Amino acid sequence: MAFRTHPVLWEKKFKGYKATRIAETYDFNAWDGFNYVGHLGGTDSRWWNLTTYEQAYKYPNLDLVYPDAYHNLAGHLDRSRSDSLVEYMRETFHKLRGRPMESLLELGTGNGHIIACAAAKGMRCVGLEGSHATIEHLKNDSIRFADLRLPQDIGETFDMVMCTEVAEHIEPFCAGVLVSTCVKHSDLVWFSASPPAHTNIDHPNEVPIEAWDNLFALMGHSVFLSLDGREDRASRLYVASDIGEQLIGGAE
């Protein structure tokens, strides 16, 4: 089927012009019960930019891509692995800042274990999550609904923002919006994202990590620590440029 816009809601003649309204998103059912059916075929992970795919340049209804069944997918961290990752974050923060880490904003909460582990260690935690099904599933007052494809400003800053294995779920045209949300809320951003590998509806933006390095640099976080890859959720700690120069640039 040929590439086209989101569904047309109406078309009208208006003072000599053709006026069209299209839907804000389009419906793509990525699940058949508890079976994932979001594979689009082919091998080019740049599919979102290829008009040979019907789904190119479109923005899906997130509730159909991430329903309750999504939580059963392999790859989501269990509580023990989440706790290990939070400890690694705290250790890294203390080495950099010389004090305990006290607050965390997580963008894209998945199964909620990371937020829960951080809160159990006494941190002030907020999570932003774009799936209503996820929020209903978790029933955690610290997790709020937010479509991360759109600008977000929750009016407070944090010791660290965590955005791991989320960026590949954000369409390329919205990547700058996501990074802007990250850097707006902290001088430190803990980050990882899937490299090119898949043609899945929920992974429209798999790019090399260097692409994210460049975008964070453009947004004012041009210093980064290369992390140990723990649980595939520890690739970079991006640091605001002035803070990076102050704490790292002059270090022996």
Residues 102 and 229: their CA atoms lie apart, in Å, by 23
Residue 230 pLDDT level (bands cut at 50, 70, 90): confident
Amino acid at 108: G
pLDDT reading at 1 higher than 60: no
The domain 1-252 is placed in CATH, from the list 3.40.50.12780, 1.20.140.10, 3.40.50.300, 3.40.50.150, at 3.40.50.150
For residue 168, give the 3-state DSSP assignment.
helix
Helices 175-185 + 209-218 axis angle, to 10 = 60
**What pLDDT score was predicted for residue 231?**
83
**What pLDDT score was predicted for residue 74?**
63
Render pLDDT for 7-44 as a digit per residue (tens, 0 to 9): 999 999 999 999 999 999 999 999 998 899 999 999 99
Render pLDDT for 123-179 as a digit per residue (tens, 0 to 9): 999 999 999 988 998 889 999 999 999 999 999 999 999 999 999 999 999 999 999
Residues 77 and 67: their CA atoms lie apart, in Å, by 18
**What pLDDT score was predicted for residue 144?**
96
For the record, the structure tokens of 225 come out as: 């620590």
Q: Where are the domains of the chain?
A: 1-252
Name the average pLDDT for the chain.
Answer: 94
